[in-house]
Amino acid sequence: MKIKFDQRDKLGSGGFGSVFKGEFKNDGVCLAVAVKRVLLDEVNANEEKALRELETHPNIVQLFHCESDDNFRYYAMELCNASLDQLFLNSEKKYDGPIPPNIEVFRQLAVGLAYIHSKKFIHRDIKPENVLIKRPPRQDEETIIKWADFGLSKDVNERGTRRLSGIKGTNTWFAPESLKNAQEAGKLRGTVKSDVFVLGLVVGYLFLNGEHLYGSEIEVHGNIINQRPIKIREIATKLRECNAYNILSHMLEDDLKIRITSAQVVDELSNSRGTAHTPESNNHLDNFLLDSNRIAREEKSHRIAREEELRRLCALENSSDLTIEIEKLIKKGIDIKAKDRFRKNALHILCELNSSSTLIDAIILLIEQGIDVNAKGNHELNALHYLCRNKTNPSFMDAMKTLIEKGIDVNATNKYGENALHFLCGNYSTSNSEEAIRILIQNGIRVIPNGNDPRSILRKNNELSNTEKKEILKLLDKAALAQG
């Protein structure tokens, strides 16, 4: 078997199986993974289907491999550092590592859930334990929040609903419609909006530092049914400061017709960025000044929202309409060079996250419309750096050639003195690895810029076989020797 683990090294367990820290062996290379073990007669085909269809999204835990023996089904999954509930423990299992600001955790979870729903799945087991924290292997990368445990996921029909066989989920993490119909087995319909409500509970839990928005465990069910989020006042100021109060309120609507969708949550979070909460004033002059400045603020808000929408499209849009949607936003007068708070522009995000069939056309469009191909983002990364981190991109080779043709500096280094070759050696894992490195060398990339040798990174790349590593090392050795 390719999956190995020690039963003493258990990470967790539940009704659907146990999870251990282990390793996945492929072509002689070992990768540290989380191994989920499930009895064969309890295997949920929906979870495996969901993971296979959703695994390319950065906010969803990745599935590497599945296999079975006579008794169990084993899943080799992306190993993360902690779950959200571990932030608030008072034990040795407490997580004290890096974590994004609360509003950024909210945004990442919303983006991931919107992607799940766009693929016609309902998660149905949203809770803090199923939100994982992934610390980056490199200092210049951000901590990522990921959805996990799709053991209760279901396909949804065109209306976004799924007939269930009674109540699902865990403990206090329910939508009101689930609780109200819990006694009507077979009549309850799960909806994507049920997921949205429970995401709201998780967001409240995060802002409340580990407390439930609807009170103690014995109060939660009654308060949810009776629409009493009794702890909302404790975090109202925090939520308003980051323009999230109204969004959360819309997520917690009891009426499904009024409750917003996950895609709308993402849009509202995007639209709220850059705007400030202004307290009401009883002074007539203050009100007049507020009114006179409101138009300018609203115009700025709309512009920022459109710029954020461009970056969101570049991250998520995988349809043939990507360039059409970008052109629509350009016509609205956006600043195509605008960057997010991580200093990433639309080209950076496109190269890092997008796998659309029109990726090349989108890259060309952005550059032709004035975006600087050599602009640098967080930690001084350029578009080629970001592209070399996007190892799931089927258009990687053509995208790299396009950036080079458009004049990108292949020798640009980040704040740690690393060029694109370092990123490629550490991240890329397909049969194109050698060809990609050869193209970079042919276009003048320095193999050892400022004494920073990427070959040590390559030797630690667990996704390449030893044979592939040897061939690439020969190529790098030859180039390094030639470059003196």
**Residues carrying an active site annotation:** 125
Q: Tokens for 333?
A: 């007068």
Burial of residue 431, with CB atoms counted within 10 A of its CB: 0-12 exposed, 13-18 middle, 19 or more buried: exposed
d(CA 210, CA 244): 18
- Contacts of residues 159-165 at CB distance under 8 Å and 24 or more positions apart, as own/partner, are 160/117, 160/122, 160/191, 160/192, 160/193, 160/261, 161/189, 161/190, 161/191, 161/192, 162/122, 162/189, 162/190, 162/191, 163/188, 163/189, 163/190, 164/188, 164/189, 164/190
The DSSP output letter for 418 is: -
265: nearest Cα among 203, 220, 307: 203
**What crossing angle do the helices spanning 192-207 and 232-241 adopt, rounded to 10°?**
90
SS3 444: coil
**Phi then psi dihedrals of residue 6, to 5 deg:** -105, 125
Q: Tokens for 86?
A: 């571990």
404: nearest Cα among 345, 444, 432, 464: 444
193: CB partners within 8 A, 6+ apart: 160, 175, 256, 259, 261
Q: Tokens for 212?
A: 């439930």
DSSP states along 335-350: -TT---TTS--HHHHH
d(CA 69, CA 41): 12
Tell me whether residue 36 is annotated as binding: yes
The helices-and-strands tally (H runs, E runs) of the chain is 18, 12
The answer to whether the Cα torsion of 126, 130, 135, 137 is positive or negative is: negative
d(CA 49, CA 5): 24
d(CA 87, CA 100): 12
* CB count in 10 Å sphere of residue 337: 15
Q: Tokens for 26?
A: 């492929």
d(CA 27, CA 467): 9
Binding site for ATP: which residues?
Answer: 36
Binding site: which residues?
Answer: 36
